[in-house]
């Protein structure tokens, strides 16, 4: 199944609509994060994209991801429920859903505004340079995975 393109206007609007449906009391269908923690978790990907974070994973981990997990991360197959996450993306403390959702929306809007051309060949912190389609798939799949986690 080909993933929707985040640079497409319809996908962009629908993604924001789904995110708006997320409720603070939603129970996860898998995992232990709260909706607010999930939004903060997804924001980490964008923090790396825009240089708001610079704690690069160790070289060994980056090589493993490139060699063995790149296809899973940027391919069309959905992420499995309960898949492990990178230690840098684990959110353990309490967060406010409105605050974290607003941060996530701002990042999504920024990616959309920059457009596909700004992401063509742009390096990802662990996977190296990606095409705009790979970026779209990576970002869409990750958020979709977690929205489905909360039934949205």
What are the residue boundaries of the structural domains of the chain, listed by start?
9-149
% of the chain beyond a pLDDT of 70: 100
**Mean pLDDT over the full length of the chain:** 92
Top mean pLDDT of 70-74, 83-87, 89-93 is at: 89-93
**pTM for the complete prediction?**
0.92
Q: Is the CB of residue 12 less than 8 Å from the CB of residue 136?
A: no
pLDDT of residue 25: 96
Task: Quickly state the pLDDT bin for 71 (edges 50, 70, 90).
Answer: confident
Task: Quickly state the pLDDT bin for 77 (edges 50, 70, 90).
Answer: confident
Higher pLDDT, 151 or 72: 151
CB under 8 Å, gap of 24 or more: what pairs does 120-125 form?
122/49, 124/48, 124/49, 125/48, 125/56, 125/57, 125/62
Task: Quickly state the pLDDT bin for 88 (edges 50, 70, 90).
Answer: confident
């Amino acid at each position: 199944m080909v993933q929707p393109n985040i640079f497409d206007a319809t996908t962009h609007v629908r993604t924001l609509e789904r995110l708006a449906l997320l409720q603070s009391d939603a129970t996860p269908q898998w995992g232990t994060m709260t909706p607010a923690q999930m939004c903060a978790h997804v924001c980490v990907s964008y923090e790396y994209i825009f240089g708001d974070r610079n704690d690069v994973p160790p070289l060994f981990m980056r090589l493993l991801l490139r060699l063995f997990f790149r296809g899973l991360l940027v391919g069309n197959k959905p992420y499995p429920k309960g898949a492990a996450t990178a230690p840098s993306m684990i959110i353990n403390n309490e967060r406010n859903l409105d605050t974290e959702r607003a941060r996530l929306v701002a990042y999504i809007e920024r990616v959309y505004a920059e457009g596909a051309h700004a992401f063509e060949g742009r390096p990802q912190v662990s996977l190296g340079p990606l095409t705009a389609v790979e970026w779209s798939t990576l970002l869409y799949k990750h958020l979709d995975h977690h929205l489905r986690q909360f039934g949205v």
